[in-house]
Amino acid sequence: MGALRDAGRRALVCYVTAGHPDPATSVAVLRGIDAAGADVIELGVPFSDPMADGPIIQASSQRALDHGMTLARTLDLIREARVSAPVVLFTYLNPLLAAGVDVLERAAAAGTHGVLVTDLPVGADPVREQWLGNGPLGFVRLVAPTTPLDRMREITAHGSGFVYLISRRGVTGVRSDVPMELPDTIARLRQATALPVCVGFGISTADQAKAVGRLADGIVVGSAIVQAAGKSVDAAADLVSTLRRALDEL
């Protein structure tokens, strides 16, 4: 991520749900978005109570669970897909804890590069945060738009790889606008950390990608790609190609 920033190139971080729309197609989706220009792939571990996710990702998670998707099978997908882009495991805490104390090592062995835990705020569980921070995976942290500067410093000091800045209040989903306060939020976050800043929640079009890419080091696109993957592998890859071209025009 830092190399991309040094080269003046915006990162395209693409989220997809493991096992959606089914395990076999999920492997093809991973390979398709990798070839289409994803710089980082966030692979969501299906969970029965995805409280931070909007309806599109919730539905994809349930569909994957119906196919018997688990964290262990998610690692199998990573192993099978063998993509060139770094893979960040995007998960809630419970699946990690249920997978056993060696799960981070197993994830790294499968080809995972990072982990993002959506429901583990800084200071909530120092022992588990230390376990994640000292493990073999980069520990990506989330920052909300309402986070004060001092709290931003605390969060990012306990993270690595990049910072995922949530662009707006609420849950994930496709939106038609870019929040007016986003430039100020990014500027505040840059005061708190030297880590690359990637912005997600609501980005789905080339115009939005450009608007956010002008401000941040990268963008995160999830719901729109998940929605496209539900139609076909080609639809997901075409969307990623469109977003990649938009960022490269900056």
Positions marked active-site: 42, 53
Check whether the bond before 148 is cis (ω within 30° of 0): no
Answer positive or negative: Cα dihedral of 96, 99, 104, 110. negative
Torsion of Cα atoms, 41 then 223 then 116 then 152, to 10°: 120
List C-alpha distances in Å: 174 to 12, 97, 201, 225. 16, 30, 8, 10
d(CA 116, CA 114): 7
User: Under a CB-based contact definition with an 8 Å cutoff, are residues 10 and 216 in contact?
Assistant: yes
Residue (of 137, 85, 129) closest to 113 by Cα position: 137
